[in-house]
Every structure is written in C-alpha cells, then in structure tokens.
C-alpha cells in the first residue's frame, strides 16, 4: 500500500466516521460542528511536496464565527472562514516526539504501519483534540479558551 493509499484509508476508516459520530459535518477535507454562534472547524491540509510514497499533512483547527462565514444560510464553515488558526500540535502534550509527527504535522510513508498510525492518531484526537474542542459552548467560552493563545485570543476579542 502506498503512503497516499494509507492516508486515504485512515480518512475513510477512522477520521470521517469519528468526526461524524462527534457531530461534525464534512465537505472534502474540512469538517465543521455547529456550536450555536460559531462552528468548530477541522481541516486536513496536504502539502504540495507529497508523493505517493511520502505524505505529510497537518490539521488546521479553530473556530469560525457564524457572523462572518461566507455561507449565506450559516449552515457550514470552510477553512477560509476560520477566525482562529491552530494546528493539531497545539492540543498535544508532546508535539515534537510523536511517532508519526514532524515539523509540519503528520507523516506517512510507504513503510508506515497503518494500524500503529491509526492507534496514535486515535489517541491524539480522542484523548486531546476533540475533548478540548468541546470545552467552549458560547462565544464567551471561546474568548476564555483562546486567551491562552495570545494572538488568536486577541483576534477573537475584536
């Protein structure tokens, strides 16, 4: 199996079903969850240097304010609607020493053990990322949540 096939399998077998089970909708490689006045947004970004045998990618994570989303019906959010921009590593306790991590996010190669990768990413999402994203319930909660990230907290206040 090539690295690209492994990434496709990971998205199909783990990421999409897990995010759907947690209330996220999807379009392409962007998932959003309606939280009232805002959306939680998770976007999978592939890098231009990827090949079939080596795939690097990251997750762009943040919130999109309903007041500023481009969707006129306010039913979905895209990567371009993000008010705050964090990556998955922001939520992880040891972003540099992850088995499948690198400076850009995650890396899958043609020799990556898919089961081990799925186990690692399941821990990242289910232990750290998704529980933290559930914390903010209101816009006031979002401001408090994002204050720990000075630039984004200040941007959100504005």
Q: How confident is the model at residue 155 (pLDDT cuts 50, 70, 90)?
A: confident
Beta-sheet strands, E only, within the chain: 25-27, 30-34, 38-46, 54-65, 86-87, 101-102, 105-109
Look at residue 104 and tell me whether its pLDDT is greater than 80.
no
Better-scored residue on pLDDT, 90 or 2: 2
Phi-psi region of 36 (alpha: psi -120 to 50; beta: other; left: phi over 0): left
**How many CB atoms neighbour CB 68 within 10 A?**
11
Question: Picking from 36-40, 89-93, 115-119, which range would have the lowest pLDDT averaged per residue?
Answer: 89-93
For range 1-12, the mean pLDDT: 95
The neighbour count for residue 103, using CB atoms within 10 Å, is 10
Question: What are 18-45's pLDDT values in tens digits?
Answer: 999 999 999 999 999 999 999 999 999 9
pTM: 0.92
Widest CA span in the chain? 47
**pLDDT for 53:** 92
């Amino acid at each position: 199996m090539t690295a690209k096939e492994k990434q496709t399998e990971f998205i199909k077998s783990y990421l999409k079903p897990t995010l759907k089970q947690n209330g996220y909708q999807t379009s392409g490689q962007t998932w959003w969850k309606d939280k009232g006045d805002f959306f939680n947004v998770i976007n999978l970004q592939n890098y231009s240097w990827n090949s079939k045998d080596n795939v690097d990618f990251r997750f762009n994570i943040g919130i999109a304010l309903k007041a500023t989303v481009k969707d006129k019906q306010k039913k979905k959010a895209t990567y371009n609607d993000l008010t705050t921009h964090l990556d998955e590593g922001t939520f992880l306790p040891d972003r540099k020493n992850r088995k499948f991590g690198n400076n850009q996010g995650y890396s899958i190669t043609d020799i990556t053990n898919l089961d081990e990768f799925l186990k690692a990413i399941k821990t990242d999402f289910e232990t750290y990322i998704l529980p933290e994203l559930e914390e903010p319930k209101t816009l006031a909660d979002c401001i408090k949540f994002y204050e720990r990230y000075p630039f984004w907290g200040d941007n959100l206040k504005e």
